[in-house]
Amino acid sequence: MDLQLGLFPDETTSAPSSSVGPADVPGHVTATAARIPKALRMGTSSWSFPGWAGIVYDKKASRSSLASEGLCAYARHPLLRTVGLDRTYYQSIDAETYRSLADAVPKDFRFLVKADRLLTAPQDPIAHGGRKENELFLNAPYAVNEVIGPMVEGLGPKAGPLLFQFSPIPPSLVGGHDTFLDRLRRFLEALPEGPLYAVELRTPSFLTVAYTDALEATGTAHCYNVHPSMSSLATQLTLVSPFYQPALVVRWMLHAGLRYQAAKDRYQPFDRLVDEDQPSRERIAVAVLDALVAERPAFVIANNKAEGSAPLSVFRLAERIANWKPDRTPQDPTQQDGPSAA
């Protein structure tokens, strides 16, 4: 689990630390940021990586130091206007901890919060030995009281999407596709209005008409994710049209053909792009441009395991979007996979 602010409450701070500051931003990156619409927010799935010295931070610092002090510097980069809170997937946090996060970032910054895994795991992820049914699976009262309430109270307007990530689930474990999707819909219907909710699947067979109907009926966004366990991004864009989403939410997570640990070993210390994934970059760029044309907000989160360095993936994607050729209008991804790179 990546270290993040809030893991160590006694170390949290709302003021920039003198030990780590933002890296100098090259002129061409500043120019790119100026051309990116404000409705698009890009960022990474965490911020505590020493290898980002010279890219995001002005000097190398320990992971624990960056976890407690790096967010202020991270959020000062003109292209990093959102970040993923993965820590909240493993354990809910209180409103005061959320507030310390909000105090560390600018007014227009937004957090993509991962909901507690107790809400999305049919078997208790904490229980040791054997399989135990998780009584909090898709439990709306728990979501409201322990996840949504503290997030809204603590982050206020700096709350971005609340993401319900479902790891791969054998359909038989949840009573089959129809039972699961019906239960998911009822869960989403029971949530309070206000926050932007998003669902990330890792089970391709759940990606059905019933799933898209549940999203549309509840105003929930599909999180388009680039991950080997899920259908390809092109397939997701075809089956779940971004034109009918309340917002575009994308997580660019793991390079094809690699497992998490293998990618981590291959890409550390995450200071350069090792395996560029240009097809995914193109499709994400097209989806973003379509969302902006439709006047919808867009959130794109990149992980180090996607290409080797999450911030560099964001910077390259930003360049692609900012420099889109006027004669190459974004096309509906249900009609084609997207243009080739310029």
DSSP conformation letters of 313-335: HHHHHHHHHHT--TTS----TTT
In a domain, 337, yes or no: no
In a domain, 338, yes or no: no
**Residue of higher predicted confidence among 330 and 57:** 57
pLDDT tier at 254, thresholds 50, 70, 90: very high
On the question of pLDDT at 339 being above 80, the answer is: no
Structural domain range at position 229: 9-322
Among 45-49, 162-166, 334-338, name the one with the lowest average pLDDT. 334-338
On the question of pLDDT at 63 being above 50, the answer is: yes
pLDDT at 18: 52
Among 122-131, 139-148, 199-208, 270-279, name the one with the lowest average pLDDT. 122-131
**Residue of higher predicted confidence among 84 and 324:** 84
pLDDT tier at 342, thresholds 50, 70, 90: very low
Rounded Cα distance, 307 and 314, in Å = 10
In a domain, 259, yes or no: yes
In a domain, 339, yes or no: no
In a domain, 15, yes or no: yes
In a domain, 249, yes or no: yes
Listed in sequence order, the DSSP H helices in 43-131 are: 63-74, 87-90, 95-103
What are the phi and psi torsion angles at 84 (to 5°)? -85, 135
pLDDT at 190: 98
pLDDT at 221: 98
Average pLDDT, the chain: 90
Give per-residue pLDDT as tens, 210-238.
999 999 999 999 999 999 999 999 999 99
On the question of pLDDT at 130 being above 80, the answer is: no
The number of residues in the chain equals 342
Q: Are strands 40-44 and 197-201 parallel, antiparallel or unpaired?
A: unpaired
pLDDT at 327: 42
Beta-carbon count within 10 A of 52 CB: 26
* Count of domains observed in the chain: 1
Q: Which of 153, 23, 163 is nearest to 82 (CA)?
A: 163
Kindly list the distances between the CA atom of residue 251 and the CA atoms of 11, 22, 24, 226, in Å, as whole numbers in the listed order. 29, 24, 26, 6
In a domain, 202, yes or no: yes
pLDDT at 19: 83
CATH number of the domain that residue 304 is part of:
3.20.20.410
pLDDT at 243: 86
pLDDT at 1: 46
On the question of pLDDT at 8 being above 50, the answer is: no
Beta-carbon count within 10 A of 133 CB: 10
In a domain, 341, yes or no: no
Give per-residue pLDDT as tens, 160-199.
999 999 999 999 999 999 999 999 999 999 999 999 999 9
**Residue of higher predicted confidence among 223 and 7:** 223
Cβ–Cβ < 8 Å for 105, 71 = yes
On the question of pLDDT at 13 being above 50, the answer is: no
Beta-carbon count within 10 A of 66 CB: 28
Average pLDDT over residues 279-297: 95
